């Protein structure tokens, strides 16, 4: 079976690494696109395999003009499957490869302080009013956090998951990364009650498809 690491643009040479299960990395051409793959005997999702996959993708990023990381998922049964799957997405992939050139992904996670559970409201109307306030406060906070960072990014992806968490990925030009980190530090200082983590630089995992921005 074939495991895919990503689609690469102008890859110099394969990194001196082995893939999953220590199998050799291979280059595979599908139309105008080039993929990096390896043979796997069976599908197995272990932490070790995930780490190795990530390592390969990082190495590909440093050796090419651009890389679109492939999601770690069910491997392909053979070349035919792989080719038809890639061909179906070829135009979009080509565009995305161009879009992410020279950029990295930065991630932000924010957790609000533990919200008080909505108090047992005395009436239905009171409950709804409390909900509305909560909603307003939440969207204001999200906008406040996202806006300065979105300004420094080419694209953003992801969205808040739960009621007290905010999670977003930003596609940032390499030269804009220091300014981005400064902006995050400013947000930290302005919102001391929040728990926040910014990570990166990552290969553009979240930007392999068209995003809203």
Partner 1 sequence: MSSDLRPDLRQQVTLLDLVDRVLNKGVVLSGDITLSVADVDLVYVGLRVLLASVATLEEQGMPVAIGDALR
Partner 2 sequence: MSAHEPIDKVLAGSGDLNRIAGELEHLQDAFPRRVNADPEKVEQGLARLVLTLVELLRQLMERQALRRMEGGTLTDEQLDQLGETFMKLNRRMDELKAEFGLEDRDLNLDLGPLGNLL
Binding site for partner 1 (CB under 8 A): 4, 6-7, 45, 47, 50-51, 53-54, 57, 68-74, 76, 82, 85-86, 88-89, 93, 96, 105, 107, 109, 169, 197, 199, 202, 205-206, 208-209
Question: How far is residue 189's CA from residue 126's CA, in Å, rounded to a whole number?
Answer: 34
3-class DSSP assignment, residue 155: strand
Say how far apart CA 15 and CA 18 lie, in whole Å.
Answer: 8
118 binds partner 2 (CB under 8 A): yes
CB 75 within 8 A of CB 1: yes
Q: How far is the CB of 84 from partner 1 (least distance, A)?
A: 8
Q: Site map for partner 2, 130-169, x if CB under 8 A?
A: -xx--x-----------------------x-xxx------
**Of 54 and 179, which CB lies nearer to partner 1 in the complex structure?**
54
Query: Which one of 54, 83, 141, 142 is in contact with partner 2 (CB under 8 A)?
Result: 54
Interface of this chain with partner 2, residues 176 to 195, rule: CB under 8 A: 181, 184-185, 188, 192-195
86/82 Cα distance (integer angstroms): 6
Q: Which stretch binds partner 2 (CB under 8 A): 3-11, 31-39, 41-49, 60-68?
A: 41-49
Closer to partner 1 at the Cβ: 31 or 116? 31
Tokens of 25: 């990395």
Residues comprising the chain, all counted: 213
Cα–Cα distances (Å) from 111 to 116, 186, 194, 195, in that order, read: 14, 16, 6, 5
Which of 204, 145, 146, 196 is CA-nearest to residue 172?
204
Count of alpha carbons within 13 Å of 9, Cβ hemisphere only?
16
**Collapsed DSSP state (helix, strand, coil) of residue 208:** coil
Shortest gap between Cβ of 161 and partner 1 (angstroms)? 11
What minimum distance in Å lies between the beta carbon of 9 and partner 2? 21
List contacts with partner 2 (CB under 8 A).
44-48, 50-52, 54-55, 106, 109, 111, 118, 120-121, 123-129, 131-132, 135, 159, 161-163, 181, 184-185, 188, 192-202, 209
């Amino acid at each position: 079976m074939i495991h895919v690491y990503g689609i690469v643009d102008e890859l110099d040479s394969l990194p001196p690494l082995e893939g999953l299960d220590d199998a050799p990395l291979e280059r595979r051409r599908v139309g105008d696109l080039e993929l990096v793959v390896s043979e796997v005997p069976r599908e197995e999702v272990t932490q070790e395999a995930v780490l190795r996959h990530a390592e390969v993708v990082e190495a590909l990023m440093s050796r090419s003009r651009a890389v679109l990381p492939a999601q770690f998922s069910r491997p392909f049964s053979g070349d035919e499957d792989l080719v038809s799957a890639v061909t179906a997405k070829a135009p979009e992939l080509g565009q995305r490869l161009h879009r992410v050139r020279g950029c990295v992904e930065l991630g932000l996670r924010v957790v609000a302080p533990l919200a008080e559970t909505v108090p047992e409201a005395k009436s239905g109307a009171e409950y709804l009013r409390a909900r509305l306030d909560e909603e307003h406060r939440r969207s204001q906070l999200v906008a406040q956090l996202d806006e300065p960072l979105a300004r420094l990014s080419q694209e953003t992806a992801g969205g808040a998951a739960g009621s007290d968490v905010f999670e977003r990925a930003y596609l940032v030009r390499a030269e804009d990364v220091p300014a981005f980190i400064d902006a995050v530090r400013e947000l930290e200082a302005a919102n001391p009650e929040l728990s926040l983590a910014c990570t990166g630089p990552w290969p553009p995992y979240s930007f392999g498809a068209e995003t809203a921005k």
